[in-house]
Chain A
Amino acid sequence: MRNLIRLCGDQARMVHDDPWLLLGEGTNEPTAPLILPLAEWQAQQAPEVLAGERSSPHGVLLQPDDDPETLRPWLNVLPLIAIGFPSFSDGRGYSQAYLLRARLGWRGELRAVGDVLRDQLAHMRQCGFDAFAVRQDKSVKDALKGLAGMSVLYGRSVIEPRPLFRRRG
């Protein structure tokens, strides 16, 4: 996947050699590992994977209508979860990310894909995303500037579970 930013601890890096592709995205790289939409992912897994006994070779893509709860039985076999933003103004992905991290305890990579833009990256980061596939026509270098956001968060979030009133000096 091109235009990818990944967080490693507090460090954000541009990733140039990410192997993952969304289904239907790059047909000229037949060996690349794929991220599949939920129904597709379920259909393509071996019974051992679905039983939670073997790792899946495929990442899964949640679209806004999907319930993250569905993934509960497979959290330990999934290599990666992507959340789709068909439009940056559709905010369902933020709550999905919150639920995956805070409620389901997902610790693997959580990647924002789709209409992923500089001015929303900080909010995505707060909600637990740690990888951002910036929209293809945008400069990833420019987008990096949006990641830090503001120094003050009043409420709480996935990366700062204590609201400001519990942190205020």
Chain B
Amino acid sequence: MYHYDEYDRALVRERVAQFRDQIRRRICGELSEEEFLPLRLQNGLYMQKHAYMLRVAIPYGTLSATQMRTLARIARQYDRGYGHFTTRQNIQYNWIELEQVPDILEMLAEVDMHAIQTSGNCVRNITTEAFAGVAADELLDPRPLAEILRQWSTVNPEFLFLPRKFKIALCSAEQDRAAIMMHDIGLYLYRDEQGEMLLRVMVGGGLGRTPILGQQIREALPWKHLLSYVEAILRVYNRWGRRDNKYKARIKILVKALGIDAFAEEVEREWQHIKEGPAELTEAEYQRVAGSFEPPRYQELADVDLAFGSRLAQEPDFARWVERNVMPHKVPGYASVTLSTKPGVSAPPGDVTAVQMEALADWSERFGFGELRIAHEQNVVLPDVRKQDLHALWSEACSFGLGSRNIGLLTDIIACPGGDYCILANAKSIPIAQSIQQRFLDLDYLHDLGDISLNISGCMNACGHHHIGNIGILGVDKNGSEWYQITLGGAQGKASALGKVIGPSFAAEEVPAVIERIVQTFVDYRAADERFVDTFHRIGLEPFKERVYPVEELAP
């Protein structure tokens, strides 16, 4: 974990004091709502349907046990006993009183946390994958550069009023688990043959109303130029990005309008002026930050644990959980565990209670090194668990409602809070997720279906990333009532794809049956153990369409 020093602490504390004063000025009327709006957004505070919502930053999804306990305290003291983990690896509280926000932020500051730039037209939380530092397929650790970027982008005075929000993600593993291609800037970090760290820079990805995958703007950028290159992109965007229409204001629209080559030339011209300057990163700074991410003191363990092996053989439920929820670790005898926040009807995707948060914090200490991660799929990861402890962890997780063995399965639904909370939403997300989970209760059947991602967004803003779900569901408004449009074939990772719309949208009560017909079509056409997305790419949209809209065939 990154350890704050006096500079980091001073910034966070001064920011709390500043926002406390801004809230006071808002309440006494010195600030109009219009003037207050961007100030509160840049401090993570939204106005929702019923109350204010506070989004707390969890930089690249990494938390200590102490921080997790503070999140639990906030949930209990200032909210209704739970919080919601988001697709940007952050946490949201949905029932917040404006007057209490400064005290909440102060509690966060005490454990080196904040809510800075979790919203607003600025650079948002820098994300990477939940398994950074531990994944067996990792090329190198993305966290030091993610932290360096976090600092650089925090209250960077030139870039606080961009045309629109700006999202940056980093990944440095064989598999892209950070959805790099759907970010305003996506960075793949790797080493060349001489061992130098290099960056492949993608730009102009994003979901929302106009989903576009990022395009490569630069290959083999030496890591020392990371900040100057990002600065050049941001300056070009800040100057030339559209501001006349908020739906055309993301950098993807600018990149598309200019074409990637012209955009790249513009960035190159800007970059030539600054690349050799003081913005160039130093080895010393990299080492200072990387020092915070030194691996913990792993025990020397055999990779094969006999007790674990026999549990696997004896307890099929445990074995299934291990198969779905446990990831290989780079250190022998250890594994990374994903605890599912999607038990089904009993809790909305991503919602975790204060009791669960405290249990998670305890487990991270007992079974690991006191560290937790939030995955962008809204689940909680314990990165370093001894294989010999997996069974004990699983038993406890089950008794706290966190033992679902459904990672990557159809019921591991990614969903935004939707119309139950959000004023932007056209339609509800949570009841749709629950009605689908209700329909697919048979765990063995789900398991046989294999990897299927299902993403739900309550509106075009696509917080539920529906475009990159194998099955995507989008809430749309039709004459004031809630309808759902379905897309198929989306995918994240290095083979990212945007889903294709299957046809006219459905009423809420039709959705579970439609999903069932889609799944049935997949089962009928599936070759051997093919994944849903592979079957889809092989057979295309038509067979699904025919099954979902059978009546239309009657018309000659």
A residues whose Cβ falls under 8 Å from a Cβ of B: 64, 88-92, 94-96, 98, 103, 117, 119-120, 122-124, 126-127, 142, 150-157, 161-166, 168
CB atoms of A91 and B238 under 8 A apart: yes
CB atoms of A154 and B282 under 8 A apart: no
Within 8 A of A (CB), among B365-387: none
Q: Shortest Cβ distance from B500 into chain A, in angstroms?
A: 36
Query: Which residues of chain B are near A123, meaning CB under 8 Å?
Result: 157-158, 160
Q: How large is the interface on B (under 10, 10 to 19, 20 to 34, 35 or more residues)?
A: 35 or more
Query: Which residues of chain B are near A90, meaning CB under 8 Å?
Result: 161, 243
Given contacts A94-B157, A154-B155, 12 further A-B contacts (CB under 8 A): A64-B243, A89-B161, A94-B159, A123-B158, A150-B18, A152-B11, A155-B152, A156-B278, A163-B278, A165-B281, A166-B282, A168-B285
Query: Which residues of chain A are near B8, meaning CB under 8 Å?
Result: 152
Query: Which residues of chain A are near B227, meaning CB under 8 Å?
Result: 155, 163
Pick from B151, B162, B273: contact of A164, CB under 8 Å: B151
Can you list 11 A-B contacts (CB < 8 A)? A88-B161, A89-B38, A89-B161, A119-B39, A150-B10, A153-B155, A154-B152, A156-B278, A161-B278, A164-B7, A168-B288
Q: Shortest Cβ distance from B155 into chain A, in angstroms?
A: 7
Within 8 A of A (CB), among B107-127: 121
Interface of B: prevailing SS: helix
CB atoms of A150 and B158 under 8 A apart: no
What does the 1/0 interface line of B24-40 toward A look like (CB < 8 Å)? 00000011000100110
B391 adjacent to chain A (CB < 8 Å): no
Pick from B121, B235, B282: contact of A95, CB under 8 Å: B235
Within 8 A of A (CB), among B282-302: 282, 284-285, 288
B14 adjacent to chain A (CB < 8 Å): yes
Pick from A122, A142, A155: contact of B156, CB under 8 Å: A155
How many angstroms from the CA of A153 to the CA of B11 in the assembled complex?
A: 8
Pick from A119, A154, A162: contact of B151, CB under 8 Å: A154
Query: Which residues of chain B are near A151, meaning CB under 8 Å?
Result: 10-11, 14
Q: Shortest Cβ distance from A61 into chain B, in angstroms?
A: 17
CB atoms of B157 and A127 under 8 A apart: yes
- Which has the most chain B C-beta neighbours within 10 Å: A92, A127, A157, A165? A165
CB atoms of B121 and A163 under 8 A apart: no
Query: Which residues of chain A are near B281, meaning CB under 8 Å?
Result: 165
Query: Which residues of chain A are near B277, meaning CB under 8 Å?
Result: 161
CB atoms of B273 and A103 under 8 A apart: yes
Chain A minimum-CB-distance residue to B273 = A103
Closest 5 pairs (CB-CB, A-B): A91-B161, A126-B157, A123-B157, A165-B285, A152-B11
What does the 1/0 interface line of B5-22 toward A look like (CB < 8 Å)? 101101100110010001
Within 8 A of A (CB), among B130-149: 148
How many angstroms from the CA of A29 to the CA of B220 in the assembled complex?
A: 60
How many angstroms from the CA of A58 to the CA of B153 in the assembled complex?
A: 37
Pick from B121, B155, B279: contact of A89, CB under 8 Å: B121
What does the 1/0 interface line of B229-248 toward A look like (CB < 8 Å)? 00000010011000100000
Q: Shortest Cβ distance from B6 into chain A, in angstroms?
A: 9
